[in-house]
Amino acid sequence: MIKGHVLITGASGFVGSALVKRLLEIKTLHEVIGGVRCVSKDLPIGLKQVVVGDSFAEFDWQPFLSGVSVVVHCAARVHIMNEGAPNPLAAFRTINVDGTINLALQAARARVRRFVFISSIAVNGVETHLHPFSADDAVAPSSSYAISKYEAELRLQTLSKESGMEVLIIRPPLVYGPNAPGNFGLLMRWLKRGVPLPLGAIKNQRSLVSLHNLVDLLVTCLTHPSIGNQTFLVSDGEDVSTTELLHRMSQALGRQVHLIPVPPRWLKLAASMVGKTDVAQRLCGSLQVDIVKTHRLLGWSPPLSLDEGLKKAAEGLIV
């Protein structure tokens, strides 16, 4: 059990805010410190907020690292639906690489014992075919976001060897939960409203992870006595097709689903015509992850089933 302060970046974000709430319930931790872009009134009173602003890559963390045993780095520049940066890769690198290493270097100097980095399954690739991705597979990042996450992983691993600070890398697939951002939240709202969707004939297989399960794994990574430097994958432990997922989301919402069986090749063609090839790939392609290593080394299994996670997401949905 690691005792001491815990610093969480991205503390007002989707994952960070859920982790903050969970950690404030753990009495052995002395203090939970949250790095935020601006002060948030929605975070618990017990959190010490550190306002970082837009200077993440240059921010001076030293005044806030005294007594910190573990850093959980959730803050990141994530996928942008309508990218406006003239050089997207440079924009991703500024936050996801430079900002990460700025924090990690200062954490190492402050003798922080463990640095937990939230990366992405996109580092492994965008699609699986014959076998699920495993934590130690060769990587194939293709998007600017995935490339920046992998570059940060490599530099963290080098820093760990030089400083002795443990680095744990977590690569989640799609994270869902109450009012999840992105396509999942959009689909759930459409299902809630009874909107017919042309997604009734998709036979892919995809792994997801509920916000509850991801936070549970992060707490395990914080409190596990000694695991060295490792990369872990995480999921709910059950893979489903997009069509099956929509049926089960509708059941969680208590709504009747209206799915039109449009062939996936037609969906991909239509998506390519409007510049949404990546959206079609996520809806129609397979992406499975293997969490055997996570269970073997950490003794961790997802506490919630997929249906239980979907029920939590439905109960917290704000339309």
Catalytic positions, please? 145
3-state secondary structure the chain: CCCEEEEEECCCCHHHHHHHHHHCCCCCEEEEEEEECCCCCCCCCCCEEEECCCCCCCCCCHHHCCCEEEEEECCCCCCCCCCCCCCHHHHHHHHHHHHHHHHHHHHHHCCCCEEEEECCHHHCCCCCCCCCECCCCCCCCCCHHHHHHHHHHHHHHHHHHHHCCEEEEEECCEEECCCCCHHHHHHHHHHHHCCCECCCCCCCCECEEEHHHHHHHHHHHHHCCCCCCEEEECCCCCCECHHHHHHHHHHHHCCCCCECCCCHHHHHHHHHHCCCHHHHHHHHCCECECCHHHHHHHCCCCCCCHHHHHHHHHHCCCC
